[in-house]
Structure 1
Amino acid sequence: MIVATVLVLYAIAAVGRLPRLLGRGTWAERAPRLAISIWLAACVSAVASVALAAFAAAIPASVVGHGLAAFFEACAALLSDGDLALSPGARAALLGAVLVVARVTHCGAAVLVRARRERRRHADLLAVLGRHDGGLGAVVLEHDEAAAYCLPGRQGKTVITTAALESLAPEQVAAVLAHERAHLRGRHHLVLAAVEAFSVAFPRLPLFARARDEVARLVELLADDVAARHHPRIHLAAALVRLATGRTPAFMLGAGGETALMRVKRMLAPAVPLGRRERLAGLAMVALLLAGPAAVAAIPGVSSLLAHHCHTLSIF
């Protein structure tokens, strides 16, 4: 029961405190890929802690320690009246854990299905209203608003409006299209779907709401960095200024938007990347967030296993 309490207290602290902790400083802007991993790991860690707390409270440590087969027998005994039958409180805890996991899974599936439906509908519109430009490697859409975005999916497409082509220089167009292709190659729509699923599943919890907003911002920074490897930063910055007010269709990833002006400053005055030690510390944090709850939940079983074997050895 102590382990279950620790895991629940950690989940509560993670939901309330981690957003403030992870939001401090400018380290995320210096390493957006690492920051995205940490935010995702934090969300998974909080949900996993709740689920593991229920199992820790319901399944006796001695059962886990005596073997994996016995552990599954304990799980199967949820509906039995044998020696391994669980108390009403343990049954309720396990049911709560199942509901938490089921809600996240359901919300994730709902987000993906809705996004796929909207993107398929938009792809049908592009097939009628757009024209593919082989030189640009993008679909050109006749529109009086300057915008550039990508349509994720198996046959991902980059889209740019005629207004954007008229207002941007060729090198700026190349830079902004590289930004959109970075979104497609990185499958950033799946990352956004993951944090959106957590946010929809638990709408009033600070960690998941903050993770959704931060990851949405960080994937844009990451795409900027990828584009800047092949195109001068000044060209991308100039394109972002012109596309800042451009609206992106729902469930698409666009170069403009609310973060465009902040990203212009970042392009013109890039921060020093994280050092090796800082990156290793970040990776260690990801590992701790993901493996920590499982390690804590395993402590009673491991202790019981060691005690059982030590007792067996002492007999011989």
Structure 2
Amino acid sequence: MKFLLAKLPAVICLGMMAMLLASCGTPQPVMAPIEAMYAQTGPSEVTTQDIQDSSGKKLYKLYHPKELTSGHPIIVWGNGSYALPPDYDGLLTHLATWGFVVINTYSSSTGTGAELVAAAQYMAEQNDTPSSTFHGRLDPTRLGVAGHSQGSTGAINAHTHFAAGALIKTVVSIALPALHWCEPEDVYETSRIAVPFFIMGGTGDGLISPLSSNKLAYDNAPSTLPAAMAMAIDADHNAIQGNGNNHRGYLTAWMSYQLKDDPAARAAFAGDNPEIMTSPGWQNASTRNLE
């Protein structure tokens, strides 16, 4: 998903405004108990590594527990427009502290989903490669994909547009752009999603990812699909960058719920009183078919 050139100046202006506001200081988000628990650093010490091709070009950055055991779930990350792994280092390191093996591409054009599918396949192959650090240490049946902005369209498209999208067991879209921002090859169709789906937006993101487009994406997903949606209060379009800010806790909890069958994380989204429905830092929350 590349923003159309005719609309690019508005997007650039929005980004500049966001940076100026951030320089004035961003208040710490108020978090509910389960959200706050998963916003804290997990128990694992983390290491990172870059994967290069034969010419030395960087392809992927991996974040994973330093001490690998077995059955680690996999998260594939999709970058937003003009963003690369360093823009999300804090967040992806955080996810790895909770036992996930995270792979990000050195691509800032991920809207079609092709790069994310390739990354998913790469990690699945590493689990089966005897010479790999990850041989026998991963669980490719527990693989989720998440992305920011352009990468959020790529997360959806990776699952819906490719045969290998069957590897993906959950999809998370963060700051999902309204469809009119998408190039034709990046247009997403949430009606085609067949795995648990979580939409995370921000009330301060009215230009690119307003409540109306997030709600449309949620409503267009199959009515029987396990799904959740919520808008982080005052979060702007790039709030997910850095350490994940408002979104870090519930993103970690969702992945723990979906990929690790974590009962504590489940309570944030399912049961008689899902925490996210009344969390003080979120509004416009909705859940359905979550068990």
TM range (shorter): under 0.3
More helix by share: 1
- Which of these two proteins has the greater Rg computed from alpha carbons? 1
TM (normalized to structure 1)? 0.23
Q: Relative CO higher for 1 or 2, CA cutoff 8 Å, sep ≥ 6?
A: 1
More strand by share: 2
TM (normalized to structure 2)? 0.25
